[in-house]
Structure 1
């Protein structure tokens, strides 16, 4: 068994703990939070700590630390975990700034530890099937893509904790809600060359944006449109990813991008399309994405390989989001640089 600990016992930690409990080859042995009240329900079940470094020093047999704290704290905690030779699973976003995500990658590489970032949407059945089509060359040359998140997050959501909606610890709709969709966009379309964007705070009393629209140019020459909003009334409307190529068009949609809406590929019949749609409708959610991430990290440790979702994968949407925000602030097109860390 690969032994895990979870740091930061807020809402998302419960998903991690459930995933560890359900995952093959994984075992939860410790939890950590600076607030002892959050540790009470785990007393007597696993070891509990209020100090991360104490846990790293004292906890025997610890292999992997899952970081579930507010996003602005990810870098110093991940770098500390790496310095003790422990592998890292870090919640999205990996960090809020490009420099911080690169520091995490550098710390992991320097200390020879594995690093995985929680982008679980890659494992949704519809997304996996779409990836199969792309890997088989069914799209041909890409034309363009659309990534859309039209959701609702009311003021009460941001008022749950003082760090929500702040630039230092949380980020806005792009970093919090749309980042999974942007991860998928980049996973399919490849690196971005430039962005031109607008962003604003329309309704919520927060420091960060609740609405952003941008046009991107991929290094391949394909184009893309990104729309992200938490201003939709009265509830989540849709999350979708549409990809268009010279020999294929597809759109995955629904409130959480779980269903096939469009599925047209050269050489495939109406029966092929209906079969694909029925397959996904029969099981639109599949195994939980967090469980995929945990099982993959456990296997990566045992097999001494890289996780499926790497640090570079986690860095890419952060770099894109910061370029979007820079373009929105300056009114200029922003060109993305190559990440300094290559492994």
Structure 2
């Protein structure tokens, strides 16, 4: 049984609690959150990380679901205390901080996992296999589009959102999964050009709400257009691959839908699309198996460093 403690119990912390409850072989043994209120909680509630690290004697894995800017400090403290960590995306806000987390894991002989759960989406896995088996031939273009809405209320009700120090920007907080899937599919990805715009969040956020990126993915060229300024609500998002032997598009906010497929010598059905939008339980199954079998994982923190580096390079181009 993997015994898990949850650091941070906001929206995403609750998502993780539900996933842990659903996963055989996983047990939530404590919650660490200064604002948590439940006098009848069946598990210990710690108000500070310090008190948890001083008193806890049973936790194997700490899930770090705190604001982005705190991930490095919280992860290193937990690793030093002998706990494995699962860090919500992004693993950190700079490549340097992400590297320091991995160095701490090596020093204290613990594992770092990052919450990159969309890697378990069936359409994402399907495209991964197509690429591995060279079913698409030469990849010409990869296009990512993300047209979302995050209104003023979203930022006003979450005090850490909207700041460079704790949030980091929409590529980190809203759209990092799309870049991670790009990294999951291709071994070599690099941002080559970036432009950012703030259309309707002036005075609300310290960073731009929209942008466009050019990148390379192995030998392919690519582009990404993203925004949180779409009118009233999320519109759509997806990734399209234009290739020698076919065209394929996956979409939805959770990349769980096969939108289009026209492939040479490959018969594909949209049945692989799924109504499931929460792949966090898949992450816990993967972590349990990786730890018990002492094997590498698709969620290993080293993969998440590429994501941070990509976004960091994009931000540096703009600056």
Alignment match, 2:272: 280
SS at match of 2:38: helix
SS at match of 1:148: strand
Hey, what's the Cα distance between the residues in 2 that align with 1:66 and 1:42? 22
- Map 1:87-236 → 2, pairs under 5 A: 87-204=84-201, 205-218=204-217, 220-236=218-234
Hey, what's the Cα distance between the residues in 2 that align with 1:85 and 1:248? 48
Hey, what's the Cα distance between the residues in 2 that align with 1:145 and 1:127? 14
SS at match of 2:91: coil
Hey, what's the Cα distance between the residues in 2 that align with 1:236 and 1:176? 15
Hey, what's the Cα distance between the residues in 2 that align with 1:221 and 1:267? 23
Shift in alpha-carbon separation, 1:320–1:134, aligned structure 2, 3 A: same
Q: How many pairs are equivalent?
A: 317
Hey, what's the Cα distance between the residues in 1 that align with 2:247 and 2:136? 7
Is residue 272 of structure 2 the alignment partner of residue 295 of structure 1? no
Task: List per-residue Cα deviations over 1:160-211 (Å, max 9, x = no partner).
Answer: 1221110000022111111001111111123224420101221112101200
Hey, what's the Cα distance between the residues in 1 that align with 2:260 and 2:100? 40
Q: Which runs of 5+ in 1 are unaligned?
A: 330-343
Shift in alpha-carbon separation, 1:43–1:80, aligned structure 2, 3 A: farther
Alignment match, 1:335: none
SS at match of 1:184: helix
Among 20, 42, 59, the residue aligned to 1:62: 59
Is residue 246 of structure 2 the alignment partner of residue 248 of structure 1? yes
Among 306, 311, 329, the residue aligned to 2:301: 311
Using structure 2 for the length normalisation, give the TM-score: 0.95
Shift in alpha-carbon separation, 1:255–1:73, aligned structure 2, 3 A: closer
Hey, what's the Cα distance between the residues in 1 that align with 2:39 and 2:265? 55
Hey, what's the Cα distance between the residues in 2 that align with 1:15 and 1:160? 18
Alignment match, 1:2: 2
Is residue 18 of structure 2 the alignment partner of residue 18 of structure 1? yes
Q: Please identify runs of 4+ aligned residues in structure 1 that moved more than 4 A.
A: none
Hey, what's the Cα distance between the residues in 2 that align with 1:328 and 1:73? 25
Is residue 73 of structure 2 the alignment partner of residue 82 of structure 1? no
Shift in alpha-carbon separation, 1:255–1:93, aligned structure 2, 3 A: closer
Q: Which one is further off, 193-202 or 157-166?
A: 193-202
Hey, what's the Cα distance between the residues in 2 that align with 1:190 and 1:144? 15
Q: Which runs of 5+ in 2 are unaligned?
A: none
Shift in alpha-carbon separation, 1:148–1:105, aligned structure 2, 3 A: same
Hey, what's the Cα distance between the residues in 2 that align with 1:241 and 1:210? 20
Shift in alpha-carbon separation, 1:312–1:124, aligned structure 2, 3 A: same
SS at match of 2:199: coil
Using structure 1 for the length normalisation, give the TM-score: 0.88
